[in-house]
Every structure is written in structure tokens, then in C-alpha cells.
């Protein structure tokens, strides 16, 4: 599925100064993709990640490790499924079916490179789409913008540390959006991952302070 044309903007998850919020956009012609049921013993929900083919192999391990840990943490407060599988789109096998499918599109480079400062244009770091009044099971994370935003915080980190930090940041943006999909609500909390804004420390730290 191509990145949707933006028709309107609600609930900002982009940069506001040096902080993040949630951007909910209304696309044109978006249809959810949800498969039929599947055999016993397999995950009921698939979270399928699509990324640029140049994404380094070690980045996937860090991302999925962080994603599973973050979901386990946030499941205590939010209705995220316990029975899910995070998988790269390229690793899906023919004939696999799931009760629910959440697509996560990672746009641009997904590592954090130390780079010269340049002004970060206004825009979202992540967003979901809404059609016919329903928040659809598609999540978009702008890795290029996220890497640039986190660049200053990554100075002094080695390559493995940068990958771990980026894995946590991508996971938290994606899970924030997933919560909106699962709850079908634009509600935000005053603390934790459900906040309307997260700073770079909250995106990359070992955990997000607070919660409901």
C-alpha cells in the first residue's frame, strides 16, 4: 500500500518545537487488510513491518526485541493483544492467515547516524489513517525524520547503542499508534506512552516514566 495522500490533519504525532505529538490523517481510498482465521497454536494478530530493503539486518533484531518488550509493558494498561507475532513482510510465508493484521510502514533509513545539524522541517514522525470514521490498521513511522530528531541524543553512542535506541523509539511511536487503533479513540493520557507528546529521552530511555 502506498503512502496515503493527506486530506486533513488531526491529533498531531510530529514535532512541536523539540517534542512529539500524534498526527491522525484522513486518507483517500484506504481499506483495511485483515485475514481470515488460522490454525490452532499460531498467533492471532500479526504486526507486519515493511521497511526499505537497505535496512541493516542487526536493526531488525533490536527493533523486534524492543517491540515485544514494550508491548508486554504497555499491555498492563492498554488493550494490546497478548497473542501476537511481529514479523518482517519479507518473511511471511504463503498461506499464513491471521485474525487481525496491523501493518507498520517504516519510511526512510531506520538507523541513527551522527550527522551534521540541519533544520528539521515541520511534519509528523508517525501517523495512522482514518476512513469512514474508523481508525484503520495501518501505521506509518518516518524513520528518516525520527533518526534526524534523535541524532543529537545519539552522539557518543556506539553503533549497537544507536540501534537499540532507535529500536525503542520506533517501537514506542508504533505502539502509541496501535493503541489508537485498538481503542478506536483519540484519547491521550497525562503520563506514559499515551501522552500526546514524548521527548527524545522518553522515546529512547530504558522505560517511559509514569503511565495511567
CB 170 within 8 A of CB 109: no
pLDDT value at residue 211: 61
Q: How far is CA 83 from CA 44, 72, 114, in A?
A: 6, 11, 37
Residue-wise pLDDT tens digits, 59-111: 999 999 999 999 999 999 999 999 999 999 999 988 888 999 999 999 987 87
Residue-wise pLDDT tens digits, 28-47: 223 334 444 444 455 699 99
Q: Average pLDDT, stretch 161-171?
A: 94
CB 188 within 8 A of CB 211: no
Please state, in angstroms and rounded to a whole number, the distance separating the CA atoms of residues 53 and 139. Answer: 18
- SS3 assignment, position 189: strand
Residue-wise pLDDT tens digits, 135-164: 999 999 998 888 888 888 888 888 899 999
Q: Average pLDDT, stretch 193-206?
A: 88
Q: For the whole model, what pTM was predicted?
A: 0.80
pLDDT value at residue 6: 26
How high is the mean pLDDT of the chain?
78
Residue with cell 489508537: 180
Amino acid at each position: 500500500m502506498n503512502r496515503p495522500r493527506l486530506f486533513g490533519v488531526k491529533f498531531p504525532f510530529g514535532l512541536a518545537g523539540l517534542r512529539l505529538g500524534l498526527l491522525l490523517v484522513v486518507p483517500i481510498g484506504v481499506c483495511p487488510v485483515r485475514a481470515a482465521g488460522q490454525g490452532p497454536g499460531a498467533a492471532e494478530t500479526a504486526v507486519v513491518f515493511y521497511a526499505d530493503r537497505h535496512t541493516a539486518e542487526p536493526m531488525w533484531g533490536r527493533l523486534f526485541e524492543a517491540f515485544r518488550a514494550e508491548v508486554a509493558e504497555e499491555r498492563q494498561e492498554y488493550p494490546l493483544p497478548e497473542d501476537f507475532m511481529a514479523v518482517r513482510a519479507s518473511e511471511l510465508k504463503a498461506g499464513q492467515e491471521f485474525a487481525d493484521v496491523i501493518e507498520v510502514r517504516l519510511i526512510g533509513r531506520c538507523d541513527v547516524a551522527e550527522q551534521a545539524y540541519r533544520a528539521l522541517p515541520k511534519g509528523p514522525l508517525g501517523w495512522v489513517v482514518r476512513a469512514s470514521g474508523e481508525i484503520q490498521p495501518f501505521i506509518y513511522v518516518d524513520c528518516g525524520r525520527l533518526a534526524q530528531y534523535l541524532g543529537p541524543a545519539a552522539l557518543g553512542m556506539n553503533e549497537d547503542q544507536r540501534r537499540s535506541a532507535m529500536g525503542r523509539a520506533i517501537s514506542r511511536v508504533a505502539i502509541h499508534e496501535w493503541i489508537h487503533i485498538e481503542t478506536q479513540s483519540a484519547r491521550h493520557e497525562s503520563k506514559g506512552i499515551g501522552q500526546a507528546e514524548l521527548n527524545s529521552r522518553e522515546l529512547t530511555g530504558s522505560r517511559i516514566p509514569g503511565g495511567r
